[in-house]
Structure 1
Amino acid sequence: MDKHLRTKQPKTDPILAASSSTEEVSSLEWEAVNMNQEEEDLVCRMHKLVGDRWELIAGRIPGRTAEEIERFWVMKNN
């Protein structure tokens, strides 16, 4: 007899599992981030250099958080 009995694991829907483990917020629920032209230019230039490293970009703009920078980028580019 086989010592290792296989038990059937219930299949989980990957889409359902992903949606239940993360909470996504639609852009309609986000408050717009107003930036001056210098900040926008810096965000665009930094994104070209470092990609989606929002903490790094926010560190270059006084008074801005990584969340604000990411929200600005997503709302502007989607």
Structure 2
Amino acid sequence: MADSEHSSSNDTNADSQEEKNEEPKLEFSEDEETLIIRMYNLVGERWALIAGRIPGRTAEEIEKYWNTRYSTSE
């Protein structure tokens, strides 16, 4: 019985952590945004190359930022 209660609390904690990981909005400075736009216009969706020009940023962060901010799903 204690095991099932423990599992339930673990499941709740895992759900909370997943929500926390998805919730934080990626915040980029104005300079970073400008650089991302300029680099995208030059090299396209080469996120790793763009990330290499912005210290502390990963290709995944930049791609996610681009897709949420500038996605062309029209």
Give your verdict on TM over 0.5: yes
Q: Which amino acid aligns with 2:58?
A: T
Name structure 1 gaps, 5 residues minimum: 1-28
The change in CA–CA distance for 1:30 and 1:47 in structure 2 (over 3 A counts) is farther
Separation of aligned partners in 2, 1:30 and 1:42: 25
Gaps of 5+ in 2: 1-21
Give percent identity, aligned residues only.
54
Q: Compare the two structures and name the one with the higher helix fraction.
A: 2
Q: In the TM superposition, what is the alpha-carbon distance from 1:38 to its structure 2 partner?
A: 0.1
The answer on 1:43 being equivalent to 2:36 is yes
Report the Cα distance in structure 1 between the residues aligned to 2:23 and 2:47, rounded to whole angstroms: 17
Structure 2 counterpart of 1:56, from 36, 49, 52: 49
- The one-letter amino acid of 1:46's match is M
CA deviation map 1:20-78 (0-9, x unaligned): xxxxxxxxx56421000000000000000000000000000000000000000000013
How many residues of Structure 1 are paired with residues of Structure 2 in the alignment? Answer: 50
Structure with the bigger RCO (C-alpha within 8 Å, sep 6+) is 1
**Whose Rg is larger?**
1
